[in-house]
Structure 1
């Protein structure tokens, strides 16, 4: 359950993050961030048991923050929780626009017998891998097809089916009404799609790696034409992505409440984090190692690694279809959570009126459309929102609450104080450095 909940859109950006950090550095960062976020999540799980003066059996983590920090803790935890939810919804909108665009392009190309690998740099084999951004994975190609310009039908298709100018708006008519539902129970029935999507991605990556083979050459500090160095100063971009990729701290207490044997919570949490870490390593390592360089360069790895497969690729088409339907069911659930947290705290009612709900949903949808049109870089969105929400929920609050509780019991030692202050400093550095990478 925890593995299924934690696995999200970040998995698509892990190979790009490894490319930014360097192969060996990237693997080390994934394992270290997994251990660090697991420890902080463990501190969240144990936070209620540190309070002996009141009954905390029904408390959530914001209640713990309110106990220690008053109204500031309550509202700041609400703010950072909303940052994580709305950030995830923006990433979902960008990805859904991407998947819908590529799905439409696959159908159009199939009907008109168009080979879209002719328009971009690609490998020349039966399993082509493309470089849509012509060598720069940081600036995805936001347009559509740029060939056969004398074809009137294709010109009209490009005009009305553009990744950044039209497709993000088409989603409004479908998803905005779904956000206004009072209950998300219907969409929660489709949670199995998340597991199916991740399992299919694992199959896709494995299949492609077998056919492409491994392309690795180790250069520790100097970049060559086709290979990035093992250590790159852009590695904090991966830590920002991983902060959100391992982020479950704001709802872990709720998830573990359903455990029949509460004494197994720590064990189950550790197993879940181990599985998530192994999944990220598996996807990231296979995509990076099998990416064909030469003839392409590792810098061609996109922020969404599915963009490195042409829209005509049938296996990638199936993956996009799976992910599109999964995200269309999860998106209203995220909107419901944002509504419950914001309107419930402000108005004391999760559905005060259709006007309040519609206004909130328009703001959230508008943010997604704007980002899909002008900044469709999911790696950037994930690392900024991940570092921001992780600053509070992953690094600061768990460490501060633990130190305060130990101090109240006269059990705070210098090693524990220094260690947890170091964790807080890491969180601050993780956020600040995102703006300089």
Structure 2
């Protein structure tokens, strides 16, 4: 009887011990289930952020395993995105971050760990800022401007506060300036307009942290009629003679000048002038009576810096009866396009020419404006008043009075006179060909 009781007690003890161990294991498993901790996300930012701009991080954690972030919903759709690993939120579509259309952007973030997930709310409050309304600036000038000449005002407004204006880039440099308070655009440096018929710049209009960039375009009007095909009134290619190949047969008479090589090293294809008294003369004719639109052009190879005529109608210098038109070089190293109009001699000048090399000189007149080109580059502009004086004197190539003080020293080739204004692309074609 005592042995049976002892065995029973031992059996009951084993059952009790096993029961306690199972409960402890179950309690351990319950306290170690995966959990996710997450916080709502709220931020206030200025409207109009940059695309991909970082906004902040949704903070979440788990006691075991890894978590993955995703967007369950958002309004407006496609406004922001979230990094699936880090929880970083950034701007996806910056156009949706506009206070006027979406002052508050909302969403729900889902954080997952295997089959377990939690959600958090996202609230992005947009702050209304002072928007700037500003338009691109464009102006076309009819003549060469002067220093400090006003080109106009940059049109810009803001809701409140004041605006500041600045030029952040321009091409060519140092040609335009802007009043930082008023936005008035002025000419800072005139010579840079020469050879640059289009000036471009970028201006910045600022209001505290807000700014807007606008484009500036200043154009010089270089008129021509693209629908008109200029015809040659005279053309002297100097191919073994001074014959006019325009079709009008106003041939030249050579005095002293001798045939030489042209810019392509072709023999007997240009004329050499000795700088003393050589010349080629073309008698006065109807084709040399030029009115308010024409083009004159010649290739030259000067050997000295001196006063020397390339081509000239007539021989007078100043006054009512001075020469109607001409191209020349000066002893002060200028390239000159001359016209006498309204009794006044007007010259468009470009300082600086090289000796012992070929270059193209072209003068264009249209709408009372003279344009001087060297090669295919516009280098000077002048305006005239009144009618062009037309005399009955010959067209002279290479001199004015067959004296050393006016006779060309070097080579002249391809003298052309057109009855209309060549466009810039036409002059480029003359230069390239």
**Structure holding more helix per residue:** 1
Structure number, greater radius of gyration: 2
Task: State whether TM-score is above 0.5.
Answer: no
Which TM bucket (shorter chain)? Answer: under 0.3
**Structure holding more strand per residue:** 2
Which of structures 1 and 2 has the larger relative contact order (alpha carbons within 8 angstroms, sep 6+)? 1
